[in-house]
């Protein structure tokens, strides 16, 4: 069984719900996923991460993931890490999915290996965010 940490950045709960749906789907593929709703870098032991975050305010990270991101900034390299990112945002804002973009760029700059292209979910879409993420999931599964 493979292990994956799902790191959640959520202000209003949408990213948490998407993460929980992904977690349930992964069980069917023999992947054990732990959802970290209040992520603490020192407590995350898996070498494969899925970051699932919304963007808050003018492109900022949600409150619950800010200390995680600060701790991450102090790490020199993450070459042992593989990752993927799901961003939830609203394209009517100038900083659409900026938090997801920033985390993606930061992980790559530290040497982490991106498994698949970032998924950017738009609140303007008529589809539910979790349905969009579940449709994207086979791309990630192919790389895990």
pTM of the model as a whole: 0.94
Q: What pLDDT score does 66 carry?
A: 94
Q: What pLDDT score does 106 carry?
A: 94
Domain ranges of the chain: 2-143
Reported as a pLDDT band with limits 50, 70 and 90, residue 1 is low
pLDDT tens sequence across 85-127: 999 999 988 899 999 999 999 999 999 999 999 999 999 999 9
Distances (CA, A) of 80 to 45, 47, 48, 134: 11, 6, 9, 26
Q: What pLDDT score does 56 carry?
A: 83
Q: Give the architecture (CATH level 2) of 2-143.
A: 3-Layer(aba) Sandwich (3.40)
């Amino acid at each position: 069984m493979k292990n994956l940490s799902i790191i959640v950045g959520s202000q209003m709960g949408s990213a948490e719900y998407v993460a929980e749906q992904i977690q349930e789907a992964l069980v069917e593929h023999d992947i054990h996923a732990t959802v970290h709703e209040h992520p603490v870098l020192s407590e995350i032991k898996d070498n494969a991460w899925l970051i699932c975050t919304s963007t808050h305010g003018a492109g900022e990270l949600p409150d619950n993931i800010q200390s995680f991101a600060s701790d991450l900034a102090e790490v020199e390299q993450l070459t042992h890490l593989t990752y993927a990112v799901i961003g939830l945002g609203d394209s009517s804002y100038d900083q659409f999915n900026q938090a997801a973009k920033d985390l993606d760029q930061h992980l790559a700059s530290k040497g982490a290996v991106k498994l698949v292209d970032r998924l950017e979910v738009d609140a303007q879409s008529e589809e539910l965010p979790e349905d969009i993420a579940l449709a994207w999931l086979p791309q990630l599964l192919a790389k895990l």
